[in-house]
Structure 1
Amino acid sequence: MKKLFNLKLKHLLNALMLIPLIMVSHHLSAQPTSVTLEHIKSSSTLNIGYRQLEPFSFRDSDGKVTGYTIALCNMVADELRESLGIKKLAIHYIPILFTERVSALNTSKIDLDCSVNTVAPERKNSVSFSTDYFVANMRIVSLRKNNIKSLNDLRGRTIAVPRGSKDLLELNRINREKNLSLSIVTSDTVEDAFDMMTQKRTAALILDDILVYPYINKSEHPENFFVSHEVVGVKMKYALMMRKEDPIFVDFVDKTLGKIFESPLNAQLANRWLTQKVVAKNTQKTQY
């Protein structure tokens, strides 16, 4: 009986001794990893998606990709370089259409989309968003002679809007709820949507206010355009877009943005790109 008791005790002690090892092994295997951070570190490369959308991301006349969100992402790159111990981090700026953003992220064509991305519940199953950095209003843009000032003036008419954008989702909702009978024509880019309106292929364009003024100001006759005082739909919160299921990278980006937003540097960036009112030349000023 004593031998049997000692044998059982021995087995129990051996089992107890294994518990810490099992716990350590489980802890190590359960350590979360970031696919994005691992890719950036192993390749010493950060691939940034952007679109031609002033003042947030655009290629200027000298061929340099610049803008407010590009500046933010360049500072994220600096933080990555230091945190990952990369001596030289190459940054590749890759033009990506609205409709390509999700697939470009999920196929690792880009690591971070640094253009205008509106936070939308419909997208959160496919991608992750950073903390928002700007809030815009959607407005009606038209030729002044069309005398379009409100949604009611658009009833039964043809409207241009970029496909794959939150503007399109919001316009579809408003069209259904208000029974406006709009005919919505979509385009690959904001510029194409703007051209449809200027070439009278559509009666108007629905777009975020801050994005439309650069196109008006570059036109030959900016005084010919009208931007509605009426705000259409909900406010548009802009954020950086990242791959889904990579919370460590999202947290890294958010913490970096938090540091930027709390520093005097952000005021300088905002003053350069955002707080100077962008208004159509020679027209009645429309406040955001």
Structure 2
Amino acid sequence: MCVPHYLAAAPTSVTLEHIKASHIINIGYRQLEPFSFRDNSGEVSGYTISLCNKVADEIKHSLGLKKLDIHYIPTLFTERVSALNSSKIDFDCSVNTDAPERQKSVSFSIDYYTANMRIVSLRQNNIQTLNDLKGHTVSVPRGSKDLLELNRVNREKHLSLSIITSDTVADAFDMVAQKRTAAVVLDDILAYPFINQSEKPEAFTVSHEIVGEKMKYAIMMRKEDPLFVAFVDKTLEHIFDSPLNTQLTNKWLTQKVVLKN
């Protein structure tokens, strides 16, 4: 078999060698619809999972493996880097925002989605803008880019926010639903499934105002493994240039950018 040029660009790849030796690929994920989640039937799926499954198929073919088992590993925001460095996971296929401050410790693929961070609150709180949010308590997942951006905006705009962090996005959202915080600052596409699945979707509101910088989603990988990064990027480029990308977008993303009520 002729090895692709991007596979031969470096003498070794820690990730590819590990996969070749074990015939197993470990994929990190979180419960974040519509990108990665375990559904009621127990199947892990979503837009990013679909991309990573295609990467796994390409790895299997390029390494000439007859068998490649995929293990999906639940991984918190705060555990991603240590899970990669300890080889608990080979790459993280949930929501990861490419940020300059993170590139010192991990690598990112090319972007596959861009989201906007917005204010999500109960309609009765009458919060639509950052000025409305001033002096209130806000929930946000720890270890997330949302937290980094919110801290920056809080300082620059002197909002005097009281920020409460949580282990998961679901926990941060629940704090608002339970009236423990006035709002949650969250990427819009991640907020919509939580609102739509709540008991009273009509009770929530999402701000028109965008908070902070745009969130560019990418697959997170181990640092110092340029061969694997190049392999993933090449596979993603092929997907984005093919009809498969439209199919995946229509299946997972298009229906998720609106609220039911």
Same fold (TM > 0.5)? yes
Q: How does 1:73-112 map to 2 (within 5 A)?
A: 73-112=52-91
TM-score, with normalisation over the residues of structure 2?
0.95
Q: Does residue 254 of structure 2 align to residue 258 of structure 1?
A: no
Deviations 1:207-231 (A, max 9, x none): 0000011111111111000000001
The one-letter code of the counterpart of 2:127 is I
Which residue matches 2:11? 32
TM-score, with normalisation over the residues of structure 1?
0.87
Which residue matches 2:204? 225
- Provide the C-alpha distance between the structure 2 equivalents of 1:49 and 1:43, rounded to a whole number of angstroms: 17
Q: Does residue 71 of structure 2 align to residue 59 of structure 1?
A: no
Q: Are the aligned partners of 2:34 and 2:256 in contact in 1 as well (CA < 8 Å)?
A: no
Unaligned runs of 5+ in 2: 1-9
3-state DSSP class of the match of 1:159?
A: strand
Give 1:38 deviation, angstroms: 0.3
3-state DSSP class of the match of 1:42?
A: helix
Which residue matches 2:170? 191
3-state DSSP class of the match of 1:275?
A: helix
The one-letter code of the counterpart of 1:191 is A
- Provide the C-alpha distance between the structure 2 equivalents of 1:278 and 1:255, rounded to a whole number of angstroms: 28
> Which of 16, 28, 35 pairs up with 1:49?
28
3-state DSSP class of the match of 2:214?
A: strand
> Which of 51, 64, 78 pairs up with 1:72?
51
> Which of 120, 133, 142 pairs up with 1:154?
133
The one-letter code of the counterpart of 2:219 is L
- Provide the C-alpha distance between the structure 2 equivalents of 1:97 and 1:190, rounded to a whole number of angstroms: 10
The one-letter code of the counterpart of 1:264 is P
Q: Are the aligned partners of 1:40 and 1:46 in contact in 2 as well (CA < 8 Å)?
A: yes
Count of paired positions: 253
Q: CA RMSD in A?
A: 1.0
Give 1:277 deviation, angstroms: 4.5
Q: Tell me which of the two structures has the higher relative contact order, counting C-alpha pairs closer than 8 angstroms and 6 or more residues apart.
A: 2
Q: How does 1:135-150 map to 2 (within 5 A)?
A: 135-150=114-129
3-state DSSP class of the match of 1:41?
A: helix
The one-letter code of the counterpart of 2:231 is F
Q: Are the aligned partners of 2:107 and 2:229 in contact in 1 as well (CA < 8 Å)?
A: yes
3-state DSSP class of the match of 2:79?
A: helix
The one-letter code of the counterpart of 1:72 is L
* Percent of residue pairs bearing the same amino acid type: 77
- Provide the C-alpha distance between the structure 1 equivalents of 2:11 and 2:107, rounded to a whole number of angstroms: 17
Q: Are the aligned partners of 1:214 and 1:278 in contact in 2 as well (CA < 8 Å)?
A: no
> Which of 86, 89, 96 pairs up with 1:117?
96
Unaligned runs of 5+ in 1: 1-30, 283-288
- 4+ residue stretches of structure 1 with deviation over 6 A? none
Larger Rg: 1
3-state DSSP class of the match of 2:255?
A: coil
- Provide the C-alpha distance between the structure 1 equivalents of 2:20 and 2:260, rounded to a whole number of angstroms: 46
The one-letter code of the counterpart of 1:78 is D
- Provide the C-alpha distance between the structure 2 equivalents of 1:103 and 1:123, rounded to a whole number of angstroms: 13
Q: Are the aligned partners of 1:167 and 1:207 in contact in 2 as well (CA < 8 Å)?
A: yes
Q: Does residue 184 of structure 2 align to residue 205 of structure 1?
A: yes
Q: Are the aligned partners of 1:81 and 1:87 in contact in 2 as well (CA < 8 Å)?
A: yes
Which residue matches 1:168? 147
- Provide the C-alpha distance between the structure 2 equivalents of 1:51 and 1:242, rounded to a whole number of angstroms: 15
